């Protein structure tokens, strides 16, 4: 039954082209971001079809693949760290896998409400993962992903890279 569900989920994704296919789109390319955001209904469909899909490492990686998130295994480590192994108060109150703040300028899947300290709130963990994709963008990320996160000032902790090893 689980394999049938995953097949249907993959079929739905590929039939609706949720993510722009180009790996050479620049982060500031408004059209690429627009393409992703316009297909929010597709994401909503994925969410509604996968409401029973629990947050597991397998399901997380499956959705990373569907959303074309780069460095998925590293991103999984990041989500585990940021969410306190999916048990932190912030995660339990916001479905926020990554401790993301509510963005001011970029497109987002975050709800309009905010949690303490301006943490973004999401309808589901799947929306949080999709928002991470928006943050990550479509430009190919080469090199060490921890260095990329540091360059983009993702974390406040000085030892963030060490924690993710």
pTM of the model: 0.74
Vertex 55 angle, CA 6 and 60, to 5°: 60
User: Token digits for 92?
Assistant: 């339990």
pLDDT at res. 69:
92
pLDDT digits 0-9 by tens, 49-95? 766 778 999 999 999 988 889 999 999 999 999 999 999 999 999 99
The domain limits of the chain are 2-163
- What percent of the chain stands above pLDDT 90? 42
Contact 109, 131 (CB under 8 A): yes
CA distance 79 to 60: 10
CA distance 57 to 75: 11
Correct CATH for 2-163 of 3.30.110, 2.60.40, 1.10.530, 1.10.3470 = 1.10.530
Give one DSSP letter per residue of 89-156, joined into a string.
Answer: HHHHHH--SS-PBPPSSS-----S-EEGGGEE--SSHHHHHHHHHHHH-SS---S-HHHHHHHTT--S
Residue 44 reports pLDDT greater than 70:
no
């Amino acid at each position: 039954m689980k394999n049938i569900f995953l097949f249907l989920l993959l079929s739905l994704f590929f039939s609706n082209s949720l993510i722009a296919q180009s790996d050479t789109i620049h982060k500031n390319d408004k059209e690429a971001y627009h393409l992703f955001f316009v297909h929010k209904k597709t994401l909503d469909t994925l969410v509604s079809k996968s409401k029973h899909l629990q947050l597991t490492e397998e399901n997380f990686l499956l959705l990373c693949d569907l959303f074309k998130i780069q460095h998925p295994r590293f991103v999984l480590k990041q989500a585990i760290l940021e969410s306190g192994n999916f048990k932190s108060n912030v995660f339990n109150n916001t479905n926020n896998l990554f401790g993301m703040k509510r963005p001011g300028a970029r497109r987002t899947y975050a709800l309009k409400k905010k949690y303490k300290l301006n943490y973004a709130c999401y309808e589901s963990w799947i929306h949080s993962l999709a928002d991470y994709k928006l943050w990550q963008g479509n430009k190919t990320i080469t090199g060490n992903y921890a260095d990329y996160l540091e360059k983009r000032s993702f974390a406040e902790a000085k030892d963030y890279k060490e924690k993710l090893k």
